[in-house]
Structure 1
Amino acid sequence: MNQVAAPPQKRAPFWASPVWLVIAFGLVLAAAGTMIIYFQDRAAEQYKQTILTHELELKAYDIMAAGWRAALANAYPPPGQAPEAVEAEKKDSLAFLDDTLKSYYDGYQGLGSPEVRQQLAQYAAGHQQEADLIRAGRSFEAFGLEVAALDLFEDLRVAAAEDTRRSTAKAALVEQNVHLATLGVLAFAFLSLGGIAWLYGRAKRSVEAAKREQEILRRSEARFRPLVQSSSDVIAVVDEGYAFRYASPAIRQLAEIGPEEAAGRSVLGLAADADKPSFEAFLADVHSRPNFTSATEVKLAVGESRYAQVVCTNRLRDPDVKGLVLNIRDISERKSLEEQLRHQAFHDPLTGLSNRLLFMERLEHALMRARRNGNQKVSVLYMDIDRFKNVNDDLGHTFGDNLLCEVAARLSKSLRAGDTAARLGGDEFAVLLEEAADAEHAQQTAERVLEEMERPFEVEGQTVNITASIGVVIADAITMTAEEVLRDADVAMYDAKEHGRARVQVFEPRMKRTLVEKLKLLNDLSGAIERDEFVVHYQPVLDLASEEVKGFEALVRWNHPTRGLLHPSAFIEAAEETGVIQALGKMVLSQATKQAKEWHTKFESMADMSMSVNVSPKQLQRPDFTAIVAEALRESGLEGRHLIVEITENVLLPDPARVAHVLEGIRKLGVRVALDDFGTGYSSLSYVGRFPIDILKIDRGFIEELDTGDKERTLVQTVIDLGRTLDLETVAEGIEREEQLARLRSLDCAQG
């Protein structure tokens, strides 16, 4: 019987063999190990990133500490320190900032997450700019940059915290995956062991991370605390109710209380009562604006005239601060200096009176008030000391300055409390009379000032008598500006001088026209010599007995292009003011001597005739006047005995010794000297006897009344007798009528 074959047995899959199981188990273990290593590396990278972020944050603290030190040392050095110590700290702090920035650029630039890297780069660049500003001498701008950088530092700190949070979260997720993979591969036993190891590793890393953060904070505090403790500024933190939570030791110098005493007290107590409302409003404004920084100045309650600058930053939302951060600096010295500068800017440094700037400002305000009040009157006085230049020339500028101070003191005492006295410059003063009732009131005030000026002054042990000329203007507030008011007062003052000085003159419109004409004359006078507009006329001098011509007097006239031929009285004073008199006098002297020499040569009968030339006091003041006369004689060939120099009596007054020396010099050239207009000025026998004078010329004013007035006849007779006694020639001026000629002949006057 045939046997049926058995079916083949099913072989187990190859992967079910122990070898493959071992291999598979090994591969699984290897894969698990690889995965564990990979995730551990990823976790390590994340923790390294966290550590790096903390290190970058620490570096930011380093930069901030160095920046504050440099900014405070250079912008607000602590008062009371020696200059050498201040300068040393400025250099050391700047060098420390440079080193800190260098360590960042060398070791940390470009590291960290994009957000932290960018924020830190901006923060470092800002401090590099601060260092450059300090080197450029712009320390206050550097300090402002440091204050502004607080917000950037806060942004950096927030970015670092966010980066740390993300890195820590990622590391935790990776580690979790490591443990999940280990649990799936190594079974329950390894799961327990792996879980224990994972929990242990995580706990250990958390502890180490916490220690690292604490170390970072400790090192930051160690760097920052000495800066705060040694700063002359008060660094303080106040709560929402403005009570101190912290104050640096510098508060002892600012408020005379210690840091411990300050705790719990209101920061408003630092301010003087008058400044408390504004200080509270300032704090409230900062309080209402998160992360906002602002600054103000406060008068302190402690001491007299002490001020502080307060920079306040809102850090109420910062969990590490939770308050308003204040930087309080004593600026009392700066405020005192500013007040001095303000006073100097608006007051005359010599007399202490208001200067032109302040006077014009008050005048403008007075006019504005007058307009609002229905054209209420405003008056201005313009005062100038008469012949003050003589005081400076004779007694010195220091004496003159002291006299001006005395004048200012008297001027101030002569006025009401609401009036303003000012020194405009030189010896010119102005007075603003507000609410002056009328011109009479202003003129009475001016007369009172004038009387004060005429009382003798005691200066440097000497008694000095002066006079002043005052111009008065009653301002029309509706139509006039401050400049126009002062201009009109100045015009009135010059009119007072024109009419004899030592008087008060109220402004009249015709004065402005007169001044304009004078200014035009002065302008026309410039260049008149070059345009050959001056001509010299010659008036004969006769022997009154024989009526023979004995000589000539040179008389200059100005052939003005529009006004015609002008007498010297119309332009000589202007020529003296502008200095044209020097060139004009030299020209007249040159022409007159040449003309005299020409007549001597051409006409035998005129060979012994003299030529008289009038000389201005300004010409005699020149040290080379004798040389000028000698040059004119030399160029013309005229002998000195034929030249007569005529001077007026006021030439002799300012410096008699010097004038006598000049006259002696020209007499050595053979030139004779005539005293013109004798009897009209300060004539005295002492002058006639002391000075080298050869001829007395009787003023025409006495000759005009000679044939009608007994007084004039007596005076002329006296002058003729005086000349005869002193062996001086006498010459009468302005003989126009036969009666005058006859009378002079009867009085035995030689020439005229």
Structure 2
Amino acid sequence: MSVRQKLLAGYLVVAALVALVGAMAWRIDADSARQAAVTEAEHIAQGVGNDVAFGLPADTLGEVPKPLFGDGYALSVYLQRLHKMQDRDVVVVDRDQVVLGDAIPEEVGSRFDNDRGDEVGATIRDGRTRTFIEVSDDYPDGIQQAVVPLVGAGGVTLGAVILEYTPLYDEMLQSTRHTQLGIAAACTAGVLLVLLIGWLIARTLTRRIGQLTAAVLDVRNGRYTRRVDATGRDEITQLGRAFNDMAEQLDRSARDILAKEYTDAILASAGEGICGVDEHNRITFANAAAARITGLSVDELLDQDAAVVLPDADPAAGGPRGPVQREGDMPAPDGSRTRVAYTVSPILRGERSAGAVVLLRDVTRQRALEEQLRHQALHDELTGLPNRALFTDRLEQAMTRSQTPLGVLFLDLDGFKRVNDSLGHGAGDRLLQATAERLLSTVRAGDTVARFGGDEFGIMLDPADGEIVAGLPARLLRALEEPLLIDGREVAVSASIGAVWDAGRYADADEVVRNADVAMYAAKSEGKARCQVFHEEMHVRLVDRLEQESRLRLAVEHGELRLHLQPIVAADTGRSVGVEALVRWQDPALGLRPPGAFLPLAEEAGLSADIDRWVLRESCRTLRQWQDEEPEQAPDWISVNVAAPLLESPGLPDLVTEVLRDTGLRPEALVLEVTETTLMRDVAATAPRLDRLRALGVRVAIDDFGTGYSSLGYLRDIPADVLKIDRSFLDGLVGSGRHRDLIDAVLHLGLTLGLQVVAEGIEDAAQLSELVALGCPLLQGFHCGRPVPAEQLRRQSAAMVAQ
């Protein structure tokens, strides 16, 4: 049983005692009322007996009272008056218990036999007053009667007087009822108060004891920071203070033990070796890592001289100024050697050395990794050749120390992208590795071959004597032109080489490499598969090219581009049913420049996609404005050229959707022109993109048809709506049956496939007549209309309608 239960049980006993006392008081009060009623009834009965035996008191002076005992009438009147006036029911009997007088006249003369216990007879015989319960047919519940002897003159017992004291008894009990209720209420309140006080005290005591018990359990479980409330002056407070003191001591002890265990665990599990050395240079402590690094067990290390295991690890070497770091090779018992870096930290007692702590680290793998990283930082991972950084460094050093001519070659593979795109990046990597091997086998052992990135290589020739200058480029070109077997296929590539033979006269290695790069681009521009030697005019051209790139970039940003439109005419009506959008550059310095003067440069500078986006948006805006303002004269659609960078962008369909939404142009009014060559760069990625565009309602045209390769094959797979016959097919059309048959075949091919066919590049009336005769439905060229600004074309169209 818990303390709380015991306390509550005690208070329940107290409450029971209070209730018992209350019950006893109730009982005593009831008994007192009953006894008072009996006493009063006896007194009344005795008074009645005196009146009956000796007569009523005289009312007048000199009157002699007459006994009522012998006067039946007077006795009856007397008893009736008592019944009526005082509500007293009195019966008078003689010695034989015969009724002499009664409030009920009919009972007079009968024997009083309702006394089953013969209490009346006993009173007549012995003269003692008694009480009894009269039970009769008239009073089945019983009435309370008091009987007194009727004593006459000379003390002779004449009979008995029987008095019903039930009303008197009820009056007495009623008078005590308030007292009893007060006793009951007081007892009830006392019981409840005792129980409430007991519950509160028990709750308070048990709560504090419970807190103390929970705190003890926490301490038992190792939580030594637990404390209890110790405010107050009672014994539980003293116990709480004693507990807090005990917990504080346990907490300090636990922290000390934990700190030591923690330190020991750290030292034991540390990845670095730790040794303690005393003032005599003897090892007094070693952890598992120290044993692993030295190749000895911990027991073998203890008491060893530190110099035997740790060369130069003299504890005094650190000195009072602080730790000393060293690194060296440590011989292991198996004969191997470990590269170890260690720090000696002296332990001082005042100014005197008391030993040292030696921290050891196995840096063998770290040093090897650092060497590997240095190699990776300066070498190409794929080919193992030096990279641009190492090449430049070697060139700088050679330019500083060498007195002999230095040569630098910048080499770029021709056709590498085609191999990489068609056969995959794995094949491209193997091609680069094979190229590196051929370059190394062609140059001298002392020359440096480096890979700059992608398919670009550099070669430093030291020295670059006359024989090397004369013969090496040709040998390199021949070596690279030899076909290679890549993934079971023969692959042939060539190289464009730029050369700087007098590198030593330059002050900056980067300038030498840049000039070789310029010469290499010159070789590419002259037909590839050749070597070009750098000269200053190339640098001038390069500077001019960079300046043009910068100006072109600003032209895109500053709105210097202009949109011109060239009509596409229906052969049967002569009406301009469509227009092709062509871009011009309003150069502030050189005036209006045609596309051929800046689009190749834009493609090289990565600006062609930005230009195409501008043309697309401006074309859609222009046609929509024309259709809104002059719906009868405006063409039905506009054709916009899309170069490779924008076509290869995954966001092209989203861009077209956005432009159509912003400008409000119907998708059917937009035709995107793509060249054969651009389409074939990545058919797998391009075809789904064109399908998405056509799903929007935009049409796709194949521009310059017949000038690329695999034309008939890709027509089956590429989604297209329009076929544009290249202008080269029109050369020699007039007067040449072969040319005429070829164009006729292309026309029938396009129409059979359900494509619209446009012949572009029409420059004279004869070509126009031939094409109309062949049934070409759509015509475009200078003869049909030159490219002009949109406003000018609108005026021309309005004039033609007016005629």
Q: Could you state the TM-score of these two structures normalised by the residue count of structure 1?
A: 0.54
Cα deviation 1:138-183 (Å, max 9, x = unaligned): 444xx9xxxxxxxxxxxxxxxxxxxxxxxxxxxxxxxxxxxxxxxx
CA displacement at 1:540 relative to structure 2: 0.8
Cα deviation 1:398-427 (Å, max 9, x = unaligned): 665444323212221233334321112333
Instruction: Please tell me whether the aligned partners of residues 381 and 430 of structure 1 are also in contact (alpha carbons under 8 angstroms).
Output: yes
Q: Is 424-433 or 672-681 further displaced after alignment?
A: 424-433
Instruction: Please tell me whether the aligned partners of residues 471 and 506 of structure 1 are also in contact (alpha carbons under 8 angstroms).
Output: yes
Report the Cα distance in structure 1 between the residues aligned to 2:395 and 2:300, rounded to whole angstroms: 48
Match of residue 616 from structure 1: 643
* 443, 461, 466: which one aligns with 2:473: 443
The reply to whether residue 629 of structure 1 matches residue 665 of structure 2 is no
Report the Cα distance in structure 2 between the residues aligned to 1:708 and 1:338, rounded to whole angstroms: 76
Match of residue 690 from structure 1: 717
Unaligned runs of 5+ in 2: 1-276, 342-361, 781-803
Report the Cα distance in structure 2 between the residues aligned to 1:575 and 1:451, rounded to whole angstroms: 31
- AA aligned to 2:580 is E
Cα deviation 1:290-347 (Å, max 9, x = unaligned): xxxxxxxxxxxxxxx99999xxxxxxxxxxxxxxxxxxxx999999788767755654
Report the Cα distance in structure 2 between the residues aligned to 1:469 and 1:710, rounded to whole angstroms: 42
The reply to whether residue 509 of structure 1 matches residue 536 of structure 2 is yes
Q: 1:477 to 1:128 in 2, by over 3 A?
A: closer
Report the Cα distance in structure 2 between the residues aligned to 1:427 and 1:70, rounded to whole angstroms: 62
* 729, 732, 737: which one aligns with 2:756: 729
- AA aligned to 2:454 is G
Secondary structure at 1:65 match in 2: coil
* 281, 299, 308: which one aligns with 1:65: 281
Q: 1:488 to 1:583 in 2, by over 3 A?
A: closer
* 694, 709, 716: which one aligns with 1:667: 694
Report the Cα distance in structure 2 between the residues aligned to 1:473 and 1:487, rounded to whole angstroms: 10
Q: 1:416 to 1:592 in 2, by over 3 A?
A: same
Residues 393-404 of structure 1 mapped to structure 2, 5 A cutoff? 400-404=428-432
Match of residue 15 from structure 2: none
Give the number of aligned pairs: 477
Residues 43-62 of structure 1 mapped to structure 2, 5 A cutoff? none
Secondary structure at 2:665 match in 1: coil
Instruction: Please tell me whether the aligned partners of residues 410 and 517 of structure 2 are also in contact (alpha carbons under 8 angstroms).
Output: yes
Residues 195-594 of structure 1 mapped to structure 2, 5 A cutoff? 232=330, 253=335, 343-344=375-376, 346-364=378-396, 372=403, 376=405, 378-386=406-414, 388=416, 400-433=428-461, 434-437=464-467, 440-452=470-482, 455-458=483-486, 466-475=493-502, 477-478=504-505, 481-499=508-526, 501-594=528-621
CA displacement at 1:536 relative to structure 2: 0.7
Q: 1:336 to 1:696 in 2, by over 3 A?
A: closer
Instruction: Please tell me whether the aligned partners of residues 472 and 507 of structure 1 are also in contact (alpha carbons under 8 angstroms).
Output: yes
Instruction: Please tell me whether the aligned partners of residues 446 and 504 of structure 1 are also in contact (alpha carbons under 8 angstroms).
Output: no
Secondary structure at 1:423 match in 2: strand
RMSD: 4.7
Q: 1:443 to 1:602 in 2, by over 3 A?
A: same
Instruction: Please tell me whether the aligned partners of residues 650 and 681 of structure 1 are also in contact (alpha carbons under 8 angstroms).
Output: yes
Cα deviation 1:68-127 (Å, max 9, x = unaligned): x699x99x989974699799999x989x99xx99xxxxxxxxxxxxxxxxxxxxx96943
Q: Could you state the TM-score of these two structures normalised by the residue count of structure 2?
A: 0.51
- AA aligned to 1:353 is L
Q: 1:354 to 1:560 in 2, by over 3 A?
A: same
Cα deviation 1:732-751 (Å, max 9, x = unaligned): 22222233323333433222
Q: 1:536 to 1:412 in 2, by over 3 A?
A: same
- AA aligned to 2:411 is M
Instruction: Please tell me whether the aligned partners of residues 475 and 485 of structure 1 are also in contact (alpha carbons under 8 angstroms).
Output: no
Report the Cα distance in structure 1 between the residues aligned to 2:440 and 2:468, rounded to whole angstroms: 21
* 301, 319, 322: which one aligns with 1:127: 319
Residues 175-194 of structure 1 mapped to structure 2, 5 A cutoff? none
Cα deviation 1:625-679 (Å, max 9, x = unaligned): 2222222223222222222110001222132132221222222222221111112
CA displacement at 1:513 relative to structure 2: 2.5
Q: 1:408 to 1:608 in 2, by over 3 A?
A: same
CA displacement at 1:482 relative to structure 2: 3.5
Secondary structure at 1:716 match in 2: helix
Cα deviation 1:481-535 (Å, max 9, x = unaligned): 5333321211122233445555544434333233222222222233433311111
Report the Cα distance in structure 2 between the residues aligned to 1:232 and 1:476, rounded to whole angstroms: 47
- AA aligned to 1:666 is L
Residues 73-222 of structure 1 mapped to structure 2, 5 A cutoff? 81=294, 126-130=318-322, 132-133=323-324, 138-140=325-327
CA displacement at 1:680 relative to structure 2: 1.7
Report the Cα distance in structure 2 between the residues aligned to 1:425 and 1:83, rounded to whole angstroms: 49
CA displacement at 1:350 relative to structure 2: 3.0
Report the Cα distance in structure 1 between the residues aligned to 2:710 and 2:411, rounded to whole angstroms: 30
Instruction: Please tell me whether the aligned partners of residues 421 and 682 of structure 2 are also in contact (alpha carbons under 8 angstroms).
Output: no
Q: 1:740 to 1:398 in 2, by over 3 A?
A: closer
Instruction: Please tell me whether the aligned partners of residues 70 and 93 of structure 1 are also in contact (alpha carbons under 8 angstroms).
Output: no
- AA aligned to 2:392 is M
Q: 1:562 to 1:88 in 2, by over 3 A?
A: farther
Percent identity for Structure 1 against Structure 2: 41
Cα deviation 1:688-710 (Å, max 9, x = unaligned): 22222222212223334434766
CA displacement at 1:539 relative to structure 2: 0.8
Of Structure 1 and Structure 2, which has the larger fraction of its residues in strand?
2
Secondary structure at 2:720 match in 1: coil
Q: Is 384-393 or 574-583 further displaced after alignment?
A: 384-393
Instruction: Please tell me whether the aligned partners of residues 438 and 480 of structure 2 are also in contact (alpha carbons under 8 angstroms).
Output: no
CA displacement at 1:444 relative to structure 2: 0.8
Secondary structure at 1:515 match in 2: helix
Match of residue 198 from structure 1: none
Cα deviation 1:705-737 (Å, max 9, x = unaligned): 434766654543432232233332222222222
Secondary structure at 2:708 match in 1: coil
Q: 1:506 to 1:83 in 2, by over 3 A?
A: farther
Report the Cα distance in structure 2 between the residues aligned to 1:745 and 1:84, rounded to whole angstroms: 101
Instruction: Please tell me whether the aligned partners of residues 443 and 506 of structure 1 are also in contact (alpha carbons under 8 angstroms).
Output: no
Unaligned runs of 5+ in 1: 1-60, 102-122, 144-230, 234-248, 255-304, 310-329
Q: 1:88 to 1:560 in 2, by over 3 A?
A: farther
- AA aligned to 1:351 is T
- AA aligned to 1:706 is L
- AA aligned to 1:565 is L
Q: 1:400 to 1:657 in 2, by over 3 A?
A: closer
